Structures are given as C-alpha cells and as structure tokens.
Structure 1
Amino acid sequence: MKAILKIIIGLFMALLSLGTYWCNTQDNEFTGEKQHVDITVEQEIALGLQAAPEMASQYGGLHSDQVAAAKIKEIGQKLLQNSKAGQTPYRFDFHLLADEQTVNAFALPGGQIFITAGLLKKLGTEGQVAGVLGHEIGHVVARHSAEQLAKAKLTQGLTGAAAIASYDPENPASQSGAVVAAMVGKLLNMRYGREDELESDRLAVALTAQSGYNPQAMIQVMRILEEASGGTSGPEFAQTHPNPGNRVAEIERAIQAQYPNGLPAGLQE
C-alpha cells in the first residue's frame, strides 16, 4: 500500500507541475511567440536590478575605464534606438566589468547587460562589440530568463515526483532513480539553453544590421570565442552554449534568410 500511495503522490505532483507549466503562457510582442512563462515583465526587471550588483561583484565590479564603459553604453543604445528592442518596456543598461581574465558577456532578466574587459580586449572592431551586445539584447527581448525559470520549476517538480515515487528507504539503491531523473532534468535545461543561444544569434543579426553594423562581424566573434576556449569546452551536449562552429552556420543562415538579396551597402565592420 505504501508503494502505491507513493506512486499516486508522485503522479499527482507530476501532473500538477505539467499543468502549471502548460497553462501559464504569454505572448511575446517582440518575437511573436507564445511562451511558457509565469512572471511578468515588471518582475523580470526587478529580478535583474536586484541581481546586478552581486553579479558585477563576481567579476571584480565595474571597470574604472570610464571612456571604454561609455563606449559600451553608446553602442548598446545605438542598437536599441534603431530597432524594436528600444520600444520594449525593458530597462536596458550596459556595463563593462573589471575582470581582465574572463572572456564572457551575459544578460540579466529585464535588461541589465554585462561584458567583461577580458572579452572586450579580444574584440577588434565596433561591429564585433555590437554583435555581442545585440546577442545579449536578444536574450532579454526573447524572455529567455523567464522561460528558463518556468522550465526549471517544471523539471524540479517532475524530478521531485520521480524521487517520491521511486524511493524505498529499505533499499538505498532506489535513490539512483532520483539521481538519474535529476541528471536528465539538468541536461534538458542545458538543451534549452543552447536553443536560446541560437535564437539570440539570429536576433542579433537583425539588431546589428538595422543599426548600421555588419552582422558578419558576429562570425568573427565566434572565431574569437572558439580560440579563447582553447579547445577545452568538452562535448556540446554537456555545455550551455553551442559549439562556436555550429553558431557560425546558424548566423550565416540567418543573414541569408533576412537579407536574401545581400546585405545593405556601407555597413560598419
């Protein structure tokens, strides 16, 4: 009876998690997609603003070079002013982090965007910087963080249900089922992360070209990231970011799809 009761409780928890996830949907006005999210844009903005100081501190705080920091903000604002992204309710701000060793850029929910000095010093043109910032803007307007939160709640609920249904206190080996379920949930979320990265690459193609930058500079950025990884990134399925070589192919397809007759003349590299 105890085993049956555990299975029933596990099934109930799984159905509740699935029902909550599938019933909470919102239309994304920027991408036109219907998304499974359960927080508002205002909550995203609040989360990002709250997390920004702590995230900056993990990379040595903000950089003291005011000229370079101002240039980052200028490029970011140019991308916003020339695209629909600037018409969204998000509170965008662009920050240069002091970390000279780490090669990274990331966006928090709601529009707080960061690039490390370690990545900036590897970029050779303004167009490359625009490609990086455009990619991060893509994450924000596509609401990837909100989607990830909803998916994390779903996988947490499902793995919790599996753990309850399979655990037997008299058989410690039964714990392996919960461990496997947790690993599967983690890999699923990593997969979603890779899809988000590719979507942001596609959005960045439009954002950069609309602002007068050559989106092909993003291909150069991928080469830079590939070189910076030193070939130690490991198998793609176990990474939150796609292989840079695969991203190059996606960027090339996006450029061809958005500009079938060729890129506009006079774009800045």
Structure 2
Amino acid sequence: MKRILSAVLTLSMALGFTSGCASVKNMNVGRTAASILISDEQEAQLGLQVKQELETKEKIKYLEDPTVVEYVRTVSTRILQQANKDRQGVKWKVNVIDDPKTVNAFATPGGYLYVYTGLLLAADNEAELAGVMGHEAGHVTGRHSAQALMLQYGEQALIDAALGKNSGTVAQIAANLAGSGAGLAFSRSNETEADDFGAKYTSAVNYDPNGLVTFFQKLAAEEGKVPGVMKWLSTHPPSAERVQHLNSYISKNRLTGSDVGADRLAPIKARLKK
C-alpha cells in the first residue's frame, strides 16, 4: 500500500512540473497522498526539528526588535486566520530573521513561517508583505512543503526525520534553507496555487490583492542589481505567465481590497535602517 501511495504522490508531483495550466485534480491527488503518508503531527515535529537545526547549526539570527517582530506577526495573523479556513489545526509560528541583505521568506511543514528583514526593506507597502506571507502560508495550507520534501528526500527518510531517527536529512534541509535559499523545490502547480492563496487571503482582509503581483514585478526589475534579491527569486521565478495568471485569478474571482498600508510599513523600515 505504501508503494502505491508513493507512486501516486510521485506522479502527482511530476505532473506539477509539466508545462501548461496547473491541474486542480493533480494538486488534490498530491495533497491527499501527502496527508496519508505524513500526519499533521509528523509535519509539526519535522518543522520543529528544522527550526532547531536552523538555530543551533546554521546559526540564524532572529530580530530582537519587539516592535518590528510584533508588527510582522500582527500582519501575518490576519492572513493566517484566513488560511485556517482552508486547513484547520495548524499551529502557526512566525519568525523574523535579522538579515537586511537577504530578500527571502520561506515556510516549512507544521506552519513555521520565516521572513527576512531584507524582504521587509524591499517591500514598498504592507499589502506586498501580506501577499508574500499569504503565499508562504499557502504552501503549508496546500501541504506543498511536505510534498516537495518527500520528492526531494524520499518518503521514508522524511518520516524518519519527523520521528527523530534521521538527523542527517533534517540537517540537509536546514542547510539548504539557510544557505542557498532553495531548500524546497516546489512544483509549478504548487507555486500557482500558493499565488492564488496569497491573493485570496489578502483580499479577504481588505488588502490590495495585487500586492504579490507588484512585489514580483519589482524583484524581477532588480534582478542582477541586488544579489540578495535572488534568494526569493530562485524559488519563486516571476515569469510573465505567472504574473498573467495571478492577474487573471484576481479578475476572475473579483478579488478586491483597498488597504495598501505604505504608511504603516514606512516607520518599520525606518527602524530597520537605523
């Protein structure tokens, strides 16, 4: 039975990398297979172990400014309340990494979200930040993190890591996340779905759903000029087709939102620049 489920998962992931529109059916197959092969509890345990590895071995440094950290968590909370409607039971944890030169954010299984101060500085307004956090939350909501890790490391290795029996896999995951910024190789369909989630979640709390679009476009324009920008672009390539899809999704679903919040992000960026 395990071999059958593994084959289903591998097939669904492989289909996600093909060209063309993302198939809802394929995404649902991959999500279902992931939920069968690794439980919510195992995802949470894996996320915790990766967090501990990032802190002890990779020596990531968390931002100590409580004002900025609380700001990010407040913005994220509104988004995560919407994400909870698509996947219940996730115990979200939002962490701010103190690295102004790196424009990056990532999610790991179990609801662990990480955002770099460099991304806060790169965003022009709160809607862009909310869009990024919504996108990363979407990876957890859609079980993309578990799917991607299974494809990269194998089902048994990942389950053993969650059970504390494979420290090598946990160390490799953490090293890739902290180093190259490409620790999770999401499929094309996963990225598309996460984009949709990000737009939907931000619009639901009255943020301008175009925040993620403008952030993509801005990073693409700066590619090659600012080395740290490549961190997020390496796993989230803002192709013209991707931006077009997101614009189409927003229009088709009549997503609206007027809150941009540039005035609220400005003092936060000022604190980070000091």
Over residues 193-234 of structure 1, what are the superposed CA-to-partner deviations in whole Å (9 max), with x where a residue is unaligned? Answer: 33322210011111100111111111111023213432799x
Q: Does 1:246 align with 2:231?
A: no
Alpha-carbon distance in 1 for matches of 2:76, 2:85: 11
> What is residue 19 of structure 1 aligned with on the other side?
4
Shift of 1:86: 7.8
Q: Does 1:256 align with 2:255?
A: no
> What is residue 186 of structure 1 aligned with on the other side?
none
Is the CA contact 2:128–2:212 (under 8 Å) kept in the aligned structure 1? yes
Structure 2 residue ranges without an equivalent (≥5): 11-25, 158-183, 229-233, 262-274
Over residues 157-188 of structure 1, what are the superposed CA-to-partner deviations in whole Å (9 max), with x where a residue is unaligned? Answer: 9xxxxxxxxxxxxxxxxxxxxxxxxxxxxxxx
> What is residue 41 of structure 1 aligned with on the other side?
40
Structure 1 residue ranges without an equivalent (≥5): 1-15, 26-30, 158-188, 234-238
Over residues 110-139 of structure 1, what are the superposed CA-to-partner deviations in whole Å (9 max), with x where a residue is unaligned? Answer: 111011011110112111110010000000
What is the one-letter code of the residue matched to 1:62?
A: Y
Change (3 A) 1:121 1:240: closer
Q: How does 1:143-222 map to 2 (within 5 A)?
A: 143-152=143-152, 190=185, 192-222=186-216
Alignment RMSD, CA only? 3.3
Is the CA contact 2:83–2:141 (under 8 Å) kept in the aligned structure 1? no
Alpha-carbon distance in 2 for matches of 1:244, 1:251: 11
> What is residue 52 of structure 1 aligned with on the other side?
51
Is the CA contact 1:98–1:116 (under 8 Å) kept in the aligned structure 2? yes
> What is residue 73 of structure 2 aligned with on the other side?
73
Shift of 1:68: 0.9
> What is residue 62 of structure 1 aligned with on the other side?
62
Change (3 A) 1:64 1:50: same
Alpha-carbon distance in 2 for matches of 1:265, 1:145: 28
Is the CA contact 1:96–1:116 (under 8 Å) kept in the aligned structure 2? yes
Alpha-carbon distance in 2 for matches of 1:69, 1:91: 18
Find the structure with the greater CA-based Rg.
1
Alpha-carbon distance in 2 for matches of 1:114, 1:101: 15
Is the CA contact 1:93–1:112 (under 8 Å) kept in the aligned structure 2? yes
Shift of 1:96: 1.1
Over residues 54-88 of structure 1, what are the superposed CA-to-partner deviations in whole Å (9 max), with x where a residue is unaligned? Answer: 33564741112211111110011111224544861
Shift of 1:143: 0.3
* TM-score w.r.t. length of structure 1: 0.67
- Structure with more contact order per residue of length (Cα contacts < 8 Å, sep ≥ 6): 2
3-state SS in 2 of match to 1:34: helix
